[in-house]
Structure 1
Amino acid sequence: MRVLIVHGEAGLAGIWAAHLRRGGAVVDCVGAQEDAVRHLSTHPVDVVLLSLTLSQGSALAIADYASYRRPDTRVIFVNNTQFFSDGSIFNHVSNARAMMPEDTPPEDLTAMVEHYATH
């Protein structure tokens, strides 16, 4: 299972990555749109764990690029605001599979990533 974490807080991304790696995932972490697009253009990815509130770039642009460049890649959004809390993200992003609060326990995020990496 190959996972790309896109989040501006390296510490939090590192915690998530450690949990995923314990489960056998190959995990890369980036903090900005430009780095995510560069990674997706050169590496296959099963799941992108993507912060909806990036300070450098657009999460929606990353999801759109993944849909185009890596059509089998699934996106799990994490969010720390009420933005898209009504579920409308699924109307805008075809490869979105879940929207989870950023404070979801890492083991629960890992379970979701593992689920969507295989389905």
Structure 2
Amino acid sequence: MDILILEDDLPLLLAFAQALESDNHNVHAVSDIETAADIVSSCKLDILLLDLMIGNDSSLQIAELAGYAAPDAEVVYVTGSTKFANGELFQMYQNTSWVMRKPVDFRDLKALINYLGKSPSGKRGGSATQMLSAKAQA
């Protein structure tokens, strides 16, 4: 799968990229909104893994651009922010698939990405914690 990772914490960006590349995904790892916008506009992406806050800016504009440039791409937010703590992202942006809270366990991240890649429509409007909990109960 082709995955865009937008994360401004460089060690975390590299760790996410390595974790997903180890599962043979094609990863575009960037730390700024402008480069992310260029990639969304020019590449066919399957998943966007977006840190909600990039410095003082939000990555919401990248999700909005993806709604036009890559409408079938799944958008997964990874955030340590308390903004939108009650699921507002799902109401604001219909291409939001999942929200993961930092710190992120790499096994959970890889499981979610693999799930989205196998699912005909991974867009369920939930959190990765809910998905993994439901999976554990099955």
Structure 2 partner of 1:10: 10
**4+ residue stretches of structure 1 with deviation over 2 A?**
none
Structure 2 partner of 1:74: 74
Alpha-carbon offset, residue 88 of structure 1: 1.0
Structure 2 partner of 1:83: 83
Unaligned runs of 5+ in 1: none
Alpha-carbon offset, residue 69 of structure 1: 0.6
Distance in 2 (CA, whole Å) between partners of 1:81 and 1:64 is 19
Q: Deviations over 1:58-103 (max 9, x none)?
A: 3110000001111111100011021111111100111111111121
Letter paired with 2:94: S
Query: Secondary structure at 1:23's aligned position in 2?
Result: coil
Structure 2 partner of 1:47: 47
Contact 1:33 1:56 in 2 (8 A): no
Letter paired with 1:105: D
Alpha-carbon offset, residue 57 of structure 1: 4.0
Tell me which of the two structures has the higher relative contact order, counting C-alpha pairs closer than 8 angstroms and 6 or more residues apart.
1
TM-score scaled by structure 1?
Answer: 0.94
Alpha-carbon offset, residue 33 of structure 1: 1.2
Alpha-carbon offset, residue 110 of structure 1: 1.4
Distance in 1 (CA, whole Å) between partners of 2:118 and 2:56 is 30
Query: Secondary structure at 1:109's aligned position in 2?
Result: helix
Q: Max radius of gyration: which structure? A: 2
Alpha-carbon offset, residue 56 of structure 1: 6.1
Percent of aligned pairs with the same residue?
28
Unaligned runs of 5+ in 2: 120-138
Q: Give the 3 Å change call, closer, same or farther, for CA 28–56 of structure 1 in structure 2.
A: farther
Distance in 1 (CA, whole Å) between partners of 2:47 and 2:9 is 19
Distance in 2 (CA, whole Å) between partners of 1:96 and 1:116 is 12
